[in-house]
Amino acid sequence: TRVRSSAASDVYKRQLVTKAPAAKTQTEAAPSFDAKFTAALMSNNIFRGYTLSNNFPSAAGTFEATYSIFFASVNGASVQIPELSHFQLTNTIGLRPTFGKLTLESGFAYYSYPRSAQDLSYGEMYIAPTYAVTPKLTLGLSVYYGPNYYRTGAWENYDAVNGKYDFGHGLALSAELGRQSFGTTADTPPIKLPDYIY
C-alpha cells in the first residue's frame, strides 16, 4: 500500500482545483421583444396648446412593440377637427437607446385622418432625450420638425423642455414649455402661419 504524504496531497488538491473548469460569468441579456397597450379617457385632447377635440372629452389608445432599442407604435384618438374625420391615427417608428440615466429617443411620426374628405396627413421627425435626475424626477427636451404641415406647404418646428415628478401610488406631476414655429404656406399669396409659445 502506498501512502501519500500530506504535502503531496496538498499539491494533488491544488492540481485538481487548477484543472477545474472556470465558472461561467453572467453575460448581457439577449435583446427581447415586448409589447404593451395603453388606453386613456381625457376631458380634453390638448396637443401643443390647442384642442383637437373642440374642448370635448376624447378617448385614445396606443399599441407599442419594442425589440432591443427599436420601437414602433400606433396611436388612435378621437378628435373634432373641421373637415376631417373624428379619428386621428399616429404611426411612429424609432430608436430608444439608454446610456445609464440618459434615454435618447428619436423617430418619425406620421399623422393621418382615415376616411376624411381630403388627405391632410403629414410626417414629423423628432429627437427627445430624457435624463433621470433621481428615481422620481425626470427632465427632458424635444425637437420636432415637419416639412409639410397638414399639407399646406409650410414647415413646422416645435422645441420644448419638460419635467416629470413621480409621487408614487400612480400620482405624477408633469410640465412642459415649448415654442411652435411655422413657415409660409404654398397658397397664392403665401400665408405665414402664426408662431406661439405653449
Q: Assign residue 170 a region: left if phi > 0, alpha if psi is -120 to 50, beta otherwise?
A: left
Q: What is the pTM of this model?
A: 0.81
What are the residues facing 35 on neighbouring strands?
65
Per-residue pLDDT of 115-131, as tens digits, reads 998 999 999 999 999 99
| Residue 155 or residue 24, greater confidence | 155
Least confident of 19-23, 84-88, 166-170: 19-23
| Predicted local confidence at residue 6, as pLDDT | 46
R_g of the chain computed on alpha carbons:
27
End-to-end CA distance of the chain: give it in Å, rounded: 94
Neighbours of 86 (CB within 10 A): 14
The H or E element spanning position 146 is strand 137-146
> Region 144-167: what's the mean pLDDT?
97
| Predicted local confidence at residue 30, as pLDDT | 74
